[in-house]
Amino acid sequence: MEFQDFSAHAAVGKLAALARAPHDLTAAGGLTAERISAMKTSGCGFDLLYATQRVTPAVLDALQELADEAGLIAAYAAMRQGAVLNRIQGYASENRQVLHTACRDVFDDPPMAPEASAKARRELEKLRIFLDELASGAIVNAEGKPFTTMVQVGIGGSDLGPRALYMALKAYALCGRSARFIANVDPDDVAEVLSGLDLSRTLFNVVSKSGSTLETLTNEELVRARIVAAGLDPALHLVAVTGEGSPMDDANKYLRSFYMEDYIGGRYSATSMVGLVTLGFVLGFEAVMEILRGAHEVDRAAMEPDIRANIPLLLALLGIWNHNFLGHATVAVLPYSQALSRFPAHLQQCDMESNGKSVTRQGKTVGWKTGPVVWGEPGTNGQHAFYQLIHQGTEVVPVEFIGFRHSQYGLDLRVAGTGSQQKLLANMLAQSLALALGKQDDNPVRCFPGNRPNSILIADRLTPQIMGGLLAIYEHRIAFQGFCWNINSFDQEGVQLGKILATRLLDLIAGRMAAKGSSALEESMLQQAGIR
């Protein structure tokens, strides 16, 4: 696969020229009913409304040219087929395939990457058997009672996606089942999560691809100590998800072990065993398959070359238009769904760890902007917090709204003529219009400039299948952008330096540094912070 510099594409020049006079949503006729119905893309249970972006048909044509010139669909197809895309040419790098899509390519015959999908099927079968044994009573605690809680111990990609999906879907939990999560090495995290838990009815799911992450190993030890102190056998209360052959791959220490492959990046691993063991425990195996089905449908639909008919590709290109051409530094993802309250946190990692890069796939410094700052919180809560800046601040923040026509629990009440779900959705649509149209007023404090780009992604209800689809839409929007910017979205060298320095400081604290020699700077930091 040949990747070219972003700046080398002819469409980039065209888009830069078009960006000198972007579409004015506030002008007479700038946002019409016809525009709203024309600028809509549907697929896999989702509708994307993008009339409130500052685009014209000419901009969309140029974005299509960019997608074609950059070979975005070819790159995505190569990724699904197992091309070694996690690499930097001519330099030491992870040098791996990128095959999270194979985890859900378990419905088609043949799948795009047969070997990887066969491994995914094998792990799914292990999971099915494990869940059946829990349900039938073949796996119970020492007193013969069923397990009710699973605590996932993991951090980063081994926490954020699984936690976001659990919170999104816990409305569908099996009777009496729930999950909790421990990520931070902050001992208060463990203390708080374990407080009030009946350890005898709890399974701990230790998740670490490398099997060597400081935080996770430390928290596993804390958890083991608590289990032993409660008079219980850790080998009956701990399961593991890790890479085959990792330091955690030890059948004697765990009730059951599941594997993930090195070609599944941590932040893309929610649909591997990293996410599915805990989700399966809480939701059951059928729901797991629904999540995978939703993701797989989007994986297939994302092969469509027409940007106007491909939701993740269009979202990627609208993001590039806003970031590289209109110059907006951040993007807010604002779900009008309390269940998605941790989804922006997952996207922060998935997007910023993937596309927060400054060198090209050929190891050269980039000469264009790569990933934006991604942030967000659920609406309507955010409206009572940071929306002031979004409407009237000097920083223009493109917004991606996410909403659902129906609630998960279906518990609603009409108050003042409307239900709560209707109030939620009316607010989302109102925000979209207000940001786009703005408002003139004689009082400058009450003026809204408008022309604040946004889009709405809406589906009927947040089900396991729709959640799988939503996850995949964002995974691919991120990957398409990375391909377009000619960066490697699948490594994370930027997190290494801090880890190395933290290890040195810990050596110093533990008194091990003398032999290796410590710097005055490190000593001083510890002393001035009052840590030593």
Residues that bind ligand G6Q (CB under 6 A): 154-158, 208-210, 213, 216, 265-267, 353, 492
Please give the Cα distance from 503 to 522 (Å, whole number): 12
CB of 206 to ligand G6Q, least distance (A): 9
Nearest approach, Cβ of residue 209 and ligand G6Q (Å): 4
Q: Is 432 or 488 the residue whose CB approaches ligand G6Q more closely?
A: 488
CB of 256 to ligand G6Q, least distance (A): 18
Measuring CA to CA, how many Å separate 350 from each of 140, 300, 355, 427, 449? Answer: 36, 20, 8, 28, 32
Residues 202, 230: Cα–Cα separation, whole Å: 12
Residue closer to ligand G6Q by CB (options 265, 469) is 265
- Determine which one of 353, 391, 400, 476 is catalytic: 353
Q: Give the whole-angstrom CA distance, residue 250 versus residue 241.
A: 11
Nearest distance, CB of residue 490 and ligand G6Q, angstroms: 8
311 exposure class (CB count in 10 Å sphere: 0-12, 13-18, 19+): buried
Identify which of 310, 315, 312, 320 has the alpha carbon closest to the alpha carbon of residue 66. 320
| Helix, strand, coil shares, percent, the chain, to 5 | 50, 10, 40
Cβ 279 to ligand G6Q, closest distance in Å? 17
The residue (of 208 and 310) whose beta carbon lies closer to ligand G6Q is 208
Buried b (16+ CB within 10 A) or exposed e, 167-205: bbbbebbbeebebbbbbebeeebbeebbeeeebbbbbbb
Given the residues 145, 364, 439, 499, the one annotated as active site: 499
Q: Quick count: other Cβ atoms within 10 Å of Cβ 259?
A: 19
For residues 527 and 504, what is the distance between their CA atoms, to the nearest angstrom?
15
Q: Name the residue nearer to ligand G6Q (CB basis): 156 or 284.
A: 156
Q: What DSSP string describes 294-317?
A: HHHHHHHHTT---GGG-HHHHHHH
Q: Specify whether 384 is catalytic.
A: yes
- Is the CB of 113 or the CB of 207 nearer to ligand G6Q? 207
Interior/surface letters 5-26, b for 16+ CB within 10 angstroms, e for the rest: bbeebebbebbeebbeebbebb
Buried/exposed code over 451-487 (b: 16+ C-beta within 10 A; e: otherwise): bbbbbbbbbeebbbbbbbbbbbbbbbbbbbbbbbbbb
| CB of 156 or CB of 319, closer to ligand G6Q | 156
To the query of whether residue 499 is one of the catalytic residues in this protein, the response is yes
Q: Of all helices (H) and strands (E), which one includes residue 255?
A: none
Q: Which residues pair with 400 in a beta bridge?
A: 333, 455
234 vs 356, beta carbon nearer ligand G6Q: 356
Of the candidates 60, 133, 484, which has an alpha carbon nearest to the alpha carbon of residue 280? 133
Smallest distance, Å, CB 341 to ligand G6Q? 20
Q: Give CA–CA dist 521/512, Å, rounded.
A: 17
Q: What is the DSSP letter of 155?
A: -
Specify the pairing of strand 46-49 against strand 40-43.
antiparallel
Give catalytic status of residue 9 as yes or no: no
Looking up tokens 């525009």 gives: 35
Q: How far is the CB of 184 from ligand G6Q (least distance, A)?
A: 12
Q: Minimum distance from CB of 262 to ligand G6Q (Å)?
A: 10
| Active-site residue, selected from the candidate residues 2, 143, 384, 516 | 384
For residue 268, the minimal CB distance to ligand G6Q (Å) is 7
CB of 212 or CB of 440, closer to ligand G6Q:
212
CA distance linking residue 208 with residue 419, whole number of Å: 43
Question: 161 or 438: whose CB is closer to ligand G6Q?
Answer: 161
What residues are annotated to the active site?
353, 384, 499
